[in-house]
């Protein structure tokens, strides 16, 4: 039982991140199922920052004495919020938390909203990594996707970030777009590389429930075209010095993997502030009998979140059941090409690695997994069938 293995949980070995959600966009994209909402005419950014700081203060006791090592600001479209409000937010966060001097701080940006602040201003307040929501460099695809920017704006955004001094620039790109050919998809990758992206998140468009595309599905490429896009895209990125360290993440030779996302994928801890934000935390408090690993989330609608100006409403704070811990750990760890150490499994779940023998040994015999005293990882073949591997732990 988990309670017998708490000596394995080593909180000092569990990195702590912070996710900040800015929920507004200029308009909702037809493929998007994220918690995003159309920006009101009078955007309540100042009140929202007040709520974020109150939210952060309510989580100060959850750190377990750890410093925050990564921060990720997502949305929505965070670049809609004025830099002055970000500066006020970071000033307040540094009074609430201990934040590492070398903390990786990522800001998601939309090329169609970057007139709100020069990139230099983001650097000056401590943001040191930019993730630009490009999706495609083809104007007709951007129109189909409901994006508000043009291809030229996306190229310019990457260039401006470089000129400002950013050395870590991610470009978000999707493939499998309506009526897209393999040549179209490869052109997107080449343009991102030529423009100066040091990291590329390259993922397939999927049709999610509760989206406009789900209600009115577009015509997507056939299976043969999809296979050509994936095979040729992987070959192109590899030839240009990019390494596929996670299913949809490619890092260039001058950059390093996104540490915030690596923390998610290796079952690290992360606090979460903002409307609909999700967090995960390990508690070792024997006095309150709250030993265990918990997930939590915040009020989804901005109007509800803003109504809790003292302590924003926590919708759920649920302990992960011991039986679900192997699945919770593996559903992200198996997305990493190099896998994780067996020490990390034990330190972050409180379970002996032998707990997963029944699942791992058959997968190892099938040539899908590496499972030895030091490492848990998919093989090259297993990496192509990650969803199948994850289902084995359900």
pTM of the model: 0.95
> Binning pLDDT at 50, 70 and 90, where does residue 55 land?
very high
Longest dimension (CA), the chain: 61
Q: Determine contact, residues 199/241, Cβ cutoff 8 Å.
A: no
How would you class 303 by CB atoms within 10 Å of its CB: exposed for 0-12, middle for 13-18, buried for 19 or more? Answer: exposed
DSSP H or E run through 70: strand 68-75
Dihedrals φ, ψ of 192, to 5°?
A: -60, -45
Residue in the block written with tokens 């990496």: 383
Closest CA to 351 of 365, 337, 330: 330
Q: Cα angle at 318 between 312 and 319, to 5 degrees?
A: 140
Residue ranges in the chain assigned as alpha helix (H): 45-58, 83-96, 119-124, 139-144, 151-164, 182-195, 212-215, 223-239, 259-265, 302-307, 325-333, 342-349, 357-365, 380-383, 386-391
pLDDT score of 359 more than 60: yes
What whole-number percentage of the chain has pLDDT above 90? 78
Q: Determine contact, residues 1/322, Cβ cutoff 8 Å.
A: yes
Please give the average per-residue pLDDT across 352-366, as a whole number: 94
- Residue 191: which residues within 8 A CB-CB, separation 6 or more? 137, 151, 155
What's the DSSP call for residue 311?
A: S
- Residue 312: which residues within 8 A CB-CB, separation 6 or more? 51, 54, 55, 58, 273, 298, 299, 305
pLDDT of residue 291: 81
State how far the Cα of 393 lies from the Cα of 327, in Å rounded to an integer: 5
Tens digits of per-residue pLDDT, 240-274?
A: 999 999 999 999 999 999 999 999 999 999 999 99
DSSP H or E run through 36: none
> Binning pLDDT at 50, 70 and 90, where does residue 290 land?
low
β-partners of residue 377 are 370
State how far the Cα of 93 lies from the Cα of 255, in Å rounded to an integer: 27
pLDDT of residue 34: 87
Please give the average per-residue pLDDT across 227-234, as a whole number: 97
* Sequence-distant contacts of 182-188: CB under 8 A, at least 24 apart: 182/225, 182/228, 182/229, 182/232, 184/138, 184/141, 185/229, 185/232, 185/233, 186/229, 186/232, 186/233, 186/236, 187/137, 187/138, 188/134, 188/136, 188/137, 188/138
Q: Is 49 helix (H, G, I), strand (E, B) or coil?
A: helix
Please give the average per-residue pLDDT across 301-322, as a whole number: 87
What would the two tokens of residue 214 be? 């789900």
State how far the Cα of 6 lies from the Cα of 2, in Å rounded to an integer: 7
Tens digits of per-residue pLDDT, 18-38?
A: 999 999 998 888 888 888 888
State how far the Cα of 363 lies from the Cα of 93, in Å rounded to an integer: 44
State how far the Cα of 97 lies from the Cα of 95, in Å rounded to an integer: 6
Tens digits of per-residue pLDDT, 158-209?
A: 999 999 999 999 999 999 999 999 999 999 999 999 999 999 999 999 999 9
How would you class 204 by CB atoms within 10 Å of its CB: exposed for 0-12, middle for 13-18, buried for 19 or more? Answer: middle
Q: Determine contact, residues 333/370, Cβ cutoff 8 Å.
A: no
Q: How many CB atoms lie within 10 A of CB 198?
A: 24
Tens digits of per-residue pLDDT, 57-104?
A: 999 999 999 999 999 999 999 999 999 999 999 999 999 999 999 999
β-partners of residue 25 are 38
């Amino acid at each position: 039982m988990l309670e017998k293995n708490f000596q394995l949980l080593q909180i000092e070995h569990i990195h702590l991140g912070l996710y900040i959600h800015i929920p507004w966009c200029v308009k909702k994209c037809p493929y998007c199922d994220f918690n995003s909402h159309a920006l009101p005419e009078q955007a309540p950014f100042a009140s929202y920052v007040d709520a974020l700081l109150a939210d952060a203060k309510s989580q100060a006791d959850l750190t377990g004495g750890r410093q925050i090592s990564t921060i990720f600001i997502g949305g929505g479209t965070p670049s809609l919020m004025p830099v002055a409000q970000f500066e006020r937010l970071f000033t307040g966060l540094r009074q609430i938390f201990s934040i590492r001097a070398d903390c990786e701080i990522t800001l998601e940006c939309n090329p169609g909203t970057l007139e709100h602040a020069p990139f230099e201003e983001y650097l000056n307040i401590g943001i040191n990594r930019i993730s630009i929501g490009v999706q495609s460099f083809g104007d007709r695809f951007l129109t189909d996707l409901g994006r508000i920017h043009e291809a030229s704006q996306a190229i310019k955004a990457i260039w401006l970030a470089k000129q400002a001094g950013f050395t870590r620039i991610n470009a978000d790109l999707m493939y499998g777009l309506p009526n897209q050919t393999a040549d179209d998809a490869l052109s997107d990758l080449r343009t991102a590389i030529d423009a100066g992206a040091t990291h590329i998140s390259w993922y397939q468009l999927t049709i999610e429930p509760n989206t406009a595309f789900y209600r009115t599905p577009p015509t997507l490429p056939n299976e043969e075209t999809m296979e050509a896009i994936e095979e040729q895209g992987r070959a192109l990125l590899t030839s240009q010095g990019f390494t596929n360290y996670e299913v949809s993440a490619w890092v260039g030779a001058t950059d390093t993997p996104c540490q915030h996302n690596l923390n998610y994928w290796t079952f690290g801890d992360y606090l979460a502030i903002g409307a609909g934000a999700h967090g995960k935390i390990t508690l070792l408090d024997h006095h309150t009998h709250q030993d265990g690993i918990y997930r939590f989330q915040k009020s989804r609608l901005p109007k509800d979140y803003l109504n809790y100006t003292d302590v924003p409403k926590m919708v759920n704070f649920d302990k992960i059941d011991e039986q679900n811990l192997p699945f919770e750990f593996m559903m992200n760890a198996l997305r990493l090409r190099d896998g994780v150490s067996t020490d990390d499994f034990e330190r972050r779940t409180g379970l002996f690695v032998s707990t997963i023998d029944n699942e791992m040994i058959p997968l190892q015999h099938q040539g899908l997994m590496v499972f030895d005293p030091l490492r848990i990882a998919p093989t090259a073949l297993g990496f192509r069938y990650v969803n199948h591997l994850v289902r084995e732990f359900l």
